[in-house]
């Protein structure tokens, strides 16, 4: 079991990419096979029904880019150029640090990825779903991939929900009654309706539950990612931020009697500048030319 977990999460492999594509394919197959046809019969606008397919095309483009693009690998050729991009804060990123594995000096905001075995410029995290690091040069691709994936799940959830609600209204199901176990006549409630729909249209209801859950999970992660982008932080920096004042930095550590120190992000320069850094990464083109 330990070997399996190590293979899945600590080595580069395509398992999660295949799982991602399988789940996406199954959801879209069900949407196409049943929901799309039923919605057309009920007179839904074709524009709304085709929106998930448009989002799918965009999503697959940026999913591919996130998988195959260079996240910002630091090499001997681009090392000097990348050292000039960000200021060293001498807390989280002190000067003159070296990665002995890659044999390069470490620019500010970089980190060595143990999974990929390389140092990455403005390292954010290693994503198993794209089998790649997310860094300075592909963060924009990952953000759009995440945005379109969330939007496609939410769109299918809305379309499927509206379809089921309209089906209930058109068939007057909500006006029906049933006899309970005690022989009493009961008005149909929401729980009974859900049970009835699940027994009648199990695949659609199961798909709806899955995309609703996915929408909330992805939506929460998207909000977190947008917050990091707006404040010019990486996931790595956010995780390490509270522990930045530590025994590893004795020259800046506070005395025991002093007021608690809060790590200050010196790289944030306003919302638009921070977002611009994601979509137009500093020194990317210059460093790529040097490779």
pLDDT, one tens digit per residue, over 10-56 is 899 999 999 999 999 999 999 999 999 999 999 999 999 999 999 99
Q: In sequence order, which residues have a C-beta less than 8 Å from that of residue 210 and are 6 or more positions away?
A: 27
DSSP bridge partners of 120: 73, 111
From 160-169, 186-195, 276-285, the region with the lowest mean pLDDT: 276-285
Residue 82 binned pLDDT confidence (cut-offs 50, 70, 90) = very high
* Mean confidence (pLDDT) of the chain: 88
Query: Which whole number is the average pLDDT over 132-143?
Result: 97
pLDDT of residue 247: 43
Q: Say what the pLDDT of residue 284 is.
A: 46
State the average pLDDT over residues 204-226: 98
Lowest mean pLDDT among 107-121, 206-220, 226-240, 253-267: 253-267
Range list of β-strands (E), 27-152? 98-99, 104-105, 111-113, 118-120, 125-127, 132-134
pLDDT at 252 over 90: no
Looking at residue 188, what is its pLDDT? 76
pLDDT at 286 over 70: no
CA-nearest of 47, 44, 24, 23 to 35 is 44
Residue 187, pLDDT above cutoff 80? no
Bigger pLDDT: 287 vs 139: 139
C-alpha 189/C-alpha 176 separation (Å) is 10
H helix and E strand count, the chain: 11, 8
Quote the pLDDT of residue 250: 47
Cα dist. 120→2, 81, 110, 256 in Å? Answer: 27, 14, 5, 35
Element (H, E) at 289: helix 284-290
pLDDT of residue 261: 57
Q: What is the pTM of this model?
A: 0.87
- Residues labelled catalytic: 127
pLDDT tens digits, one per residue of 142-171: 999 999 999 999 999 999 999 999 998 888
């Amino acid at each position: 079991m330990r070997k399996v977990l190590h293979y899945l999460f600590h080595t580069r492999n395509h398992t999660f990419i295949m799982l991602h594509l399988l789940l996406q394919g199954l959801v879209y197959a069900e949407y196409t096979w049943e929901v799309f046809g039923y919605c057309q019969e009920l007179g839904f606008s074709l524009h709304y029904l085709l929106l998930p397919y448009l989002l799918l095309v965009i999503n697959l483009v940026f999913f591919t880019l996130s998988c195959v693009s260079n996240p910002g690998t630091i090499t001997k050729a681009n090392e000097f150029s990348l050292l000039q991009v960000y200021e060293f804060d001498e807390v989280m990123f002190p000067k003159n640090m070296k990665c002995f594995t890659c044999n390069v000096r470490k620019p500010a905001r970089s980190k060595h990825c143990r999974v990929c075995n390389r140092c990455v410029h403005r390292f954010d995290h290693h994503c198993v779903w794209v089998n790649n690091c997310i860094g300075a040069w592909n963060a924009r691709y990952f953000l759009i991939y995440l945005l379109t994936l969330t939007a496609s799940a939410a769109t299918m959830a809305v379309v499927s929900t509206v379809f089921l609600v309209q089906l209930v209204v058109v068939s007057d199901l909500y006006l029906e009654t049933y006899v309970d176990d005690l022989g009493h006549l009961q008005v149909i409630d929401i729980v009974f309706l859900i049970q009835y729909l699940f027994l009648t249209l199990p695949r659609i209801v199961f798909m709806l539950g899955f995309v609703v859950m996915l929408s909330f999970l992805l939506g929460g992660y998207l909000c977190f990612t947008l917050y990091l982008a707006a404040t010019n932080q990486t996931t790595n920096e956010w995780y390490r931020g509270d522990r930045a004042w530590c025994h590893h930095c004795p020259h800046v550590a506070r005395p025991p009697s002093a007021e608690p120190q809060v790590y200050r992000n010196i790289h944030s320069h306003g919302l638009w500048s921070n977002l611009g850094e994601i979509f137009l990464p500093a020194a990317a083109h210059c460093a790529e030319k040097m490779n």
